[in-house]
Structures are given as C-alpha cells and as structure tokens.
Amino acid sequence: MSATRPRLTVDITPMLEDEWTGISVFTRRLVQALERSGRVHLDFGIRMTRIAAAEARETIRHGSGAFLRGRLNDRPIDAFEAINPAQPLLYPSVKENFGLARREASTIHDISTLVMPETHDVANVAYHLDPLRDQLTTDEVVFCVSEATRVALTDTFPWAAPKTRLLTQYVDWPGDFELLDRNQPTVELGRYAVVIGTIEPRKNLDLLLRALEHPSVAASDLTFIVIGRRGWLADQALARLRPQAQQRVKFTGFVSEFVKYRLLKAAEFLVLTSVYEGFGIPAVEAMSLGKPVLASLTSSFPEVIGDAGLFFDPFSVDEFAAGLKEISDPRRLAELAPKALEQAATFTPERMAAPVLDWIGA
C-alpha cells in the first residue's frame, strides 16, 4: 500500500522554535493528522533542505525545536540534501522561498497586517506583506485557516479566490493530562475567567482593563487570569486602574501546555477580546474542556465558536460588561457547556487532513 500512496513534502521550519505555540503547534498537528490518515507518504524539509522522517518525528516527541537545531548544527555541509522538486511541497505557514517544487501550497493564518496595518510595527507589516503577492502567485493552492481569513484575503486579491481552500485546526491535549491533573493540588484561584491576549492594539486587552471600572464588572467577584506576556504598554494601562481593579488581573507570562490545560479546565469560561484573529485556537481548546467563550463579534470567532459562546462589540465596554454578566450566570454556563463540547468536536484531525489529501489526490 505504501508504494501507491502519493508523496508530499511538508516544510517544518515553524517547529524549529524552542517554545511551541501558534503556528508551531499547527504544523505539528497537521503532520500528525496527515500521518494518521494513512493515505500519504510524508517527507520533511526545512527551507530548501530535506529532513529525515525520523528526525521530524523525534522533534515532535520532544515538543521543541532545540533537538532538531542541534542535529542541523552538527551536520557537515556535504551531508545536506535538497528537497525533491518533483513532490508537492506544503508550507504550513508563509513561504520563505518560491519555486522549490513544481507544485506548492502555503497556509494563510492571520492577515491582520493587511486588514489592520495600524496595529503592527512597520517592519512586521513589511515582513508579511512584501512577499505575499509572490506567494499567492506561485502557489497552486492557498490554504486559509478560516472562512474569515479567506474572505479578507480574496477581498484584496480576488484573482487568488479559485486557489483558496479551508484548512481548520483541531485540539489534541496529551492523553496523560487528565491523570496528571487529578494528581495535582486543586487550582485555588477562586472564580476566574481565562483571558488570552496581550496589551497591544490588535489583542485589545485594554478593553477588559477599562471594563473593570464598569459598575457591573466592578461588582463581580471574578478574577481574570491572562495567559500571555504583558505586551506593549502594560504597566501604563494597569496604572490607570484603582488598586482593587489591578488586583483582579493576573498575568501568567508564557505557560506550558499542561499549565494552560489546568487553568482552562478550572476556569468559568474563556474571554477573547481581540479585534482580529485568523482562527482562534484558544477557543477550541477551551470548548474541548466544556468551557464557553465570551468573544469579540469579529473575524473568525463566530464561525469557530458558533453557539458555544456569547459575543460583544470589541469597541464597547458596555457590551462587554453585559456579555460578562450574562455568561457569569451559573445557569447560562450550564446551558452553554454542552454546546462547547459539541462545537469543539467538529474540529478533528480528519477534517484538517482532508483538504491537503484532496489537493494531492490521495
């Protein structure tokens, strides 16, 4: 059977990162979804260099790029082998090189640099946008992580629309997390909501901080645990708050997947204040644990969250406060919890692998 399976090269450059978040995790999940299908023979590359399958799988086992970087640094220059240009080449993120294979596809995650350039520094905008037209031109297929991303992309580049296909992600908490969690001390943080984001314009966490002074929010007993770095202007933003309000916001900084799992599992619900997100995997992570989501009514959130959450205008403190009051009600939480599990279950490895397998005719 393996001799008849089509071959596909996957660029795993995102997995060189030490701390896997975002696109690094997306890449790992995509590789595992494709391998799980049993319908394709995978080869691996980093930029122009072929990577042995055993090295790629060992990197996944380690959950960090440190292992693979060490192997590459120790490799003699004459031991490097170019990827096979005859095989389709898939980039789980942006393409750094063009024309390495006869058939290429790349993945568009987040084009906030295109639709909201004012929320990024100039260098970041240039890094993402300068090669985008060439990327789209040289792609046979352009995978988009959500319908919202696809629409935003094709509004600017309508000629690319026939190439676009959806490629949605799934959540796969390690199987031992539940057992490990049961053997840990109970998370004792009182009633709290997890917040994903940083204090920067696009993530819009400033909305939450301003809402803490709203009468209905101030009367709530909820604490907000922010998973993420403090970001731009955090100290200045926090300094505007009364001491009592400041104490209700706790920043974790970077946390491991297990710590994130524990924090989400013990939370009341998840809050996403972003003005724009390409997909919003934290929503699926929370829903997979039965946690509803309070999210901005924007970009990909409605299609990802569906009926498993409540939405608010990301520029309205009053709407946020009203949504927070509603979702904090235990009866509303009980109503939304099963919907969260049902919605998360629609994002599967099979669904992620399907459009790639269709592209290569597997």
Do 257 and 186 share a structural domain? yes
Q: Which two tokens stand for residue 193?
A: 């909501």
At residue 198 the predicted structure's pLDDT band, cuts being 50, 70 and 90, is low
> Would the pLDDT of 123 be above 90?
no
Domain contains 2: no
Do 76 and 27 share a structural domain? yes
Domain contains 313: yes
> Would the pLDDT of 54 be above 70?
yes
Amino acid at 92: P
Of the candidate ranges 102-106, 141-145, 224-228, the one whose mean pLDDT is the lowest: 224-228
pLDDT per position as a tens digit, 229-286: 765 566 777 778 888 888 899 888 888 889 999 999 999 999 999 999 999 999 999 9
Domain contains 212: yes
Q: How far apart are CA 352 and CA 166, in angstroms?
A: 9
Q: Tell me the CATH number at 200.
A: 3.40.50.2000
Q: Which residue has the higher pLDDT, 359 or 4?
A: 359
Strand 249-253 to strand 164-166: parallel, antiparallel, or no bridges (unpaired)? unpaired
Do 130 and 39 share a structural domain? yes
At residue 199 the predicted structure's pLDDT band, cuts being 50, 70 and 90, is low
What confidence score (pLDDT) does residue 119 get?
A: 67
At residue 2 the predicted structure's pLDDT band, cuts being 50, 70 and 90, is very low
Do 184 and 80 share a structural domain? no
What confidence score (pLDDT) does residue 231 get?
A: 58
Cβ(297)–Cβ(311) below 8 Å: yes
Do 218 and 339 share a structural domain? yes
Q: How far apart are CA 15 and CA 18, in angstroms?
A: 8
The pTM assigned to this predicted structure is: 0.91
Q: Which residue has the higher pLDDT, 294 or 121?
A: 294
Do 192 and 156 share a structural domain? no
pLDDT per position as a tens digit, 127-141: 677 788 899 999 999
What confidence score (pLDDT) does residue 13 get?
A: 95
What confidence score (pLDDT) does residue 234 get?
A: 65
At residue 142 the predicted structure's pLDDT band, cuts being 50, 70 and 90, is very high
At residue 80 the predicted structure's pLDDT band, cuts being 50, 70 and 90, is confident
Question: What is the total count of domains within the chain?
Answer: 2
Do 181 and 51 share a structural domain? no
Domain contains 1: no
Do 110 and 258 share a structural domain? no
* Residue 196: closest CA among 99, 334, 345, 304: 304
Please count the residues of the chain.
Answer: 362
What confidence score (pLDDT) does residue 237 get?
A: 73
What confidence score (pLDDT) does residue 240 get?
A: 80
pLDDT (mean) for 192-196: 94
Residue 184 belongs to domain spanning: 177-344
Do 216 and 121 share a structural domain? no
> Would the pLDDT of 313 be above 80?
yes
Domain contains 210: yes
